[in-house]
Amino acid sequence: MFLKYFIRKLQYITGFRKAVRTPEETHKEAHWKPEETESGTSEEKEKEPMKAELKDNLGQLLDMLGNSNDVKKHVFRFGPDNTLSGALVFIDGLADSKTITDAILRPLITTRMKGLASLKGENLLDAVSENALFSGDVETVESLSELAAGCLSGDTALLLEGCQAGLIISSKGWEKRGVSEPQSEAVVRGPREGFTENLRTNTSMIRRKIHHGKLIAEQLTVGRKTRTGICLMYLDGVANPDVVKKVKYRIENLEVDSILESGYIEEYIEDAPFSPFSTIGYSEKPDVVASRILEGRVAIVVDGTPFVLTAPMLFIESFQSTEDYYVRPLYASLVRILRFIAFFIAVFGPAVYIALTVFHQEMIPTTLLFTIANAREGTPFPVFIETAIMVITFEILREAGVRLPRPVGQAISIVGALVMGDAAVSAGLVGAPVVIAVSLTAVSGFLVPNQYDAASMLRIIMMILAALIGGYGISMGFLGLLIHLASLTSFGVPYFQGLSFSRNLEDAVVRMPLWTMVKRPKGIAYHDITRRRFFIPPLRPHQDEDGQKEN
Amino acid sequence: MKLVRIFSAAVLAAFMLLICGCWDDYELNALFIVTGIALDSSQNPSQMDISVQIAKPHPSSEGKSDSENEPVILMNTTAPTMSDALSVFNRNSNRTLMLQHNQVLLLGKSLAEDNIIKHLDLFMRDQETRMEVLVMVVDGRAEDIINAQLEQDSISGMFLARLITDLTTASSHYQIRMIDFVSRLLDESVAPIAPIVSLKENNGKQEIVMNGMAVFDNERMIGQLTNDEVTGYIWAMGDVSRGEVSFSTEWGTAVLNISSLTAKREISFDNEKVQVNLSIKAQLHIGQISGFKYISMEELMAHLQTSAEQAIRDKIMNSFEISKTLNADIFGFGRSIYRTYPSEWKKIREEWETVYQNLELDVNVDAHIATTGQITDSLEMEEGKSAD
């Protein structure tokens, strides 16, 4: 499988293959049909028309829902002289009982509409939905499977005696977590709300940032078992329609069983599944997602997770923090340059230390060399082993700290600080410079959280290269890394765009003032690429005064 | 088929990158960091005494008592060449000697006066020995300097390197590295020089002092400049950013600090005679004055300026005269002629030594006293009163 990927990569590099799979190719590759799955049988059921008798329909619907304990049915009589009978089916916990009583049951039972009793079939359903129900979202469906799907997503199914169709009445209302400050992307300045696990809440939070009719939200359902709701959001006219089509195509053609988190989607649709670098961005903050949508990206909101995916993703995106745009540009640029340096340290820090102390001692200033030599004196392991021990120890401590509940996690960090910082050195197990190098590397890695996983993997590769062939190995590794990065694409957009010397430089290594960013990033934005028509700096004090005089 | 060819080419190109690499991996605790090498003449004329100074590593985890131990390891042997000595050292030590961080190459005076160039080959040829190593001549035995127990720096090699670094802030011409030394040696006219250091006992403590510079011809040391003459040489070379001009006149004595001093050479030919015009521009400020009791500030400034110009000129001329008696072109006038008048140089290169004897040096000093420091007149000065 890996070999296949590698060959495809080579084909791409040598120009024998396009960056993105064409629909035909994907179809060919993924051309297998689920032979004996229940989707086949449900299709058959779908074709089966509904019966006229309430009892039959109800029994069949309950059968489809599995007669579970939390499936509630309620049979009632209504209409003039209670001549009509109907049944409500909903799932306890998903449907809001208050809505069911106030908007469905009460108006139905209390309705005294004339001539209701004489209506039959479709007409009766229409009359009920139009005249009786107090609900804004009612849909007439003619198959039981649709009714079942409605029930499973929290709506209420209404069946009436003598009707070969049913109503799905919106009554979603389940327990959900409120909007709170995101754990993974804390800011000093900027909005503090984060996405929740609820799809609708998330889409509404994005809509609250972009009040524009061209913000399109397309609903998809993926996963044979989970039936997870997915919402694509993009700005029509700004997002590249090709990218939208690609994203949609890839998601629609997923033959998957379950989608539990946006990570599932990411893994299934990303361009480079074996690359250490992710080619799809994610964020927990609506303002970040909104800004990416405004640049022409497509947001993929997945139900059940507070992480929203954005595509296409550029390498530079990992270095752009949302706060960069909320603080003034000079400081933002400084911090961004710092992030680049930190990422370099995070990947190459231990490798450079190994190469310098093992191969290129002459490159270390003499006094520093004495210090390092004194620290190395009496330590039992070679530099590579020593560094590897510390790097692995750090990863163990980090993993332990992340997974454990917070009170225990603190104990871990105390133990870690003692073990790593002090005991290992004073016991003569490792030298103090290694501790400094590794801890600097570890801290640097956290400055670019989106690429943390890539950095910690590449770090080990670079360390091995440095231990084998020194600084030459590091430069080879760096070269290989650059080639790999330059060959990556995300939904047809080169991954390195924005770092090359031609395009979108106003928001790359430095963050220029907002008023200089006249255009949306080229290559991502498609049609409406102008943010501001002119390159207008803010008014200076004297210009302000002139303006007032004119008024 | 074409695809296969491209792939195989790519794979071969990739191999080219991967088959080379750094091979000389040494763990730091398998190395001895050499900080100084001393070459001395031996009793046997075909051999020489060679000593190396190695910074002794101290395990940092152990107690403080350890740091009071010897800071350096000294190794010495007698061998015909440096390479032989190195193989002896490597045979007798439990670690490999690492020469990249060698700070100084010390040449004993007797060795320097005998023959120097035959010992330099290894220091230029080998990759481990750097051309940045400082070259110095020791007044006495070079190994004494390497053995010295100094108060200022526990490793004498490091002390000398820092001493020169400190002097370099005054003028870059104090720094004579191997590369400077050799390039002067290779040049047909310029005479190599190297600082002279010597060991002094002061109240039972050892000190290293700088004693001017040694002047070489193409083979050996032929004479030396005193510290004063070195100052004249440095000023003639220009590019000075620190130093003092001190003089005393009939009215008092003054020390003027140099904040910058530049020199510009102009060469003119008068028949067979070569004349060098050296125009010096000096920015000075008053460092210290005493005397000048009955003199106004304006007069004093004018007086100091002319006296300073005279003092600078005297010093340069003095050094020039010394170089003439040694017949060694330490200033590199020959090189300047070669650069500006290559055709003329071709005519005189054969008899450069006699030309140098007849070379006329004309020094024009333009001194400017910028400030008087934090005070203007001194406590002694009683401006306006006459001497009577």
pLDDT in tens, A387-427: 999 899 888 888 888 888 877 777 877 877 777 677 888 88
Alpha-carbon distance of A530 to A195, in angstroms, equals: 29
Alpha-carbon distance of A316 to A143, in angstroms, equals: 49
A480 contact B CB<8A: no
Token pair, residue A219, equals 């609903």
The verdict on a CB contact (< 8 Å) between B31 and A383 is no
The verdict on a CB contact (< 8 Å) between A472 and B22 is yes
Alpha-carbon distance of A149 to A548, in angstroms, equals: 63
pLDDT (0 to 100) of residue A548: 55
Size of interface A-B (CB pairs under 8 A): 90
Token pair, residue A343, equals 């990422």
A292 contact partners, CB below 8 Å, separation of at least 6: A281, A283, A299, A310, A317
Helices (H), chain B: 2-18, 82-92, 109-114, 121-125, 142-147, 156-168, 178-186, 227-237, 297-326, 333-340, 342-348, 352-358
The residue range of the domain holding B218 is: 28-225
Angle between helical axes of A452-487 and A329-358 (0-180°, round to 10): 90
Q: What is the DSSP letter of A450?
A: G
pLDDT in tens, B63-83: 554 455 678 899 999 999 889
pLDDT (0 to 100) of residue A81: 76
More confident residue, A502 or B378: B378
Q: Which residues of A touch B126 (CB under 8 A)?
A: none
pLDDT (0 to 100) of residue B134: 93
B59 contact A CB<8A: yes
Instruction: Kindly state whether residues A377 and A283 are assigned to the same domain.
Output: no
pLDDT of A351 over the 90 cut = yes
pTM: 0.83
pLDDT (0 to 100) of residue A107: 85
What is the total count of domains within chain A? Answer: 3
More confident residue, B126 or A31: B126
Instruction: Kindly state whether residues A261 and A364 are assigned to the same domain.
Output: no
pLDDT in tens, B168-188: 988 888 999 999 999 999 888
- Supply the mean pLDDT for chain A: 84
More confident residue, A7 or A19: A7
B25 contact A CB<8A: yes
Q: Which of B205, B225, B245 is the last residue of a domain?
A: B225
Instruction: Kindly state whether residues B130 and B255 are assigned to the same domain.
Output: no
pLDDT (0 to 100) of residue B214: 94
Instruction: Kindly state whether residues B206 and B339 are assigned to the same domain.
Output: no
Query: E strand or H helix at B224, and its extent?
Result: strand B221-225
Q: Which residues of A touch B130 (CB under 8 A)?
A: 362
The verdict on a CB contact (< 8 Å) between A366 and B101 is yes
pLDDT interval class at A551 (50, 70, 90): very low
pLDDT (0 to 100) of residue A289: 94
pLDDT (0 to 100) of residue A35: 45
DSSP string, A382-400: -HHHHHHHHHHHHHHHHHH
Instruction: Kindly state whether residues A163 and A77 are assigned to the same domain.
Output: yes
pLDDT of A33 over the 70 cut = no
pLDDT of A48 over the 70 cut = no
Backbone angles phi, psi at B258, to 5 degrees: -90, 125
Is A546 part of a structural domain of the chain?
Answer: no
**Three-class SS state of A453:** helix
The verdict on a CB contact (< 8 Å) between B22 and A360 is yes
A504 contact B CB<8A: no
The verdict on a CB contact (< 8 Å) between B101 and A383 is no
Instruction: Kindly state whether residues A351 and A448 are assigned to the same domain.
Output: yes
Stretch A195-221: mean pLDDT, rounded? 92
Backbone angles phi, psi at A442, to 5 degrees: -65, -45
pLDDT (0 to 100) of residue B68: 57
Query: E strand or H helix at A203, and its extent?
Result: helix A199-209
Instruction: Kindly state whether residues A188 and A210 are assigned to the same domain.
Output: yes
pLDDT interval class at A502 (50, 70, 90): low
Instruction: Kindly state whether residues A195 and A272 are assigned to the same domain.
Output: yes
pLDDT of A273 over the 90 cut = no
The verdict on a CB contact (< 8 Å) between A377 and B55 is no
Q: How large is the ipTM?
A: 0.83
Alpha-carbon distance of A88 to A73, in angstroms, equals: 5
Token pair, residue B351, equals 């008899």
Closest by CA position to A131, among listed A108, A109, A147: A108
What is the total count of domains within chain B? Answer: 2
CB atoms within 10 A of CB A203: 22
**Three-class SS state of B31:** strand
Is B9 part of a structural domain of the chain?
Answer: no
pLDDT (0 to 100) of residue A255: 84
The verdict on a CB contact (< 8 Å) between B22 and A14 is no
Is B3 part of a structural domain of the chain?
Answer: no
Q: Which residues of A touch B33 (CB under 8 A)?
A: 361, 366, 369-370, 373
Stretch B147-170: mean pLDDT, rounded? 90
Q: Which residues of A touch B159 (CB under 8 A)?
A: none
Q: What is the DSSP letter of A537?
A: P
The reply to whether omega before A182 is within 30° of 0 (cis) is: no
pLDDT interval class at B22 (50, 70, 90): low
Stretch A240-249: mean pLDDT, rounded? 91
The residue range of the domain holding A460 is: 336-490
pLDDT in tens, B227-258: 999 999 999 998 899 899 999 888 889 999 99
pLDDT of B126 over the 60 cut = yes
Cβ–Cβ under 8 Å, residues A247 and A260: no
Stretch B327-356: mean pLDDT, rounded? 89
pLDDT of B279 over the 60 cut = yes
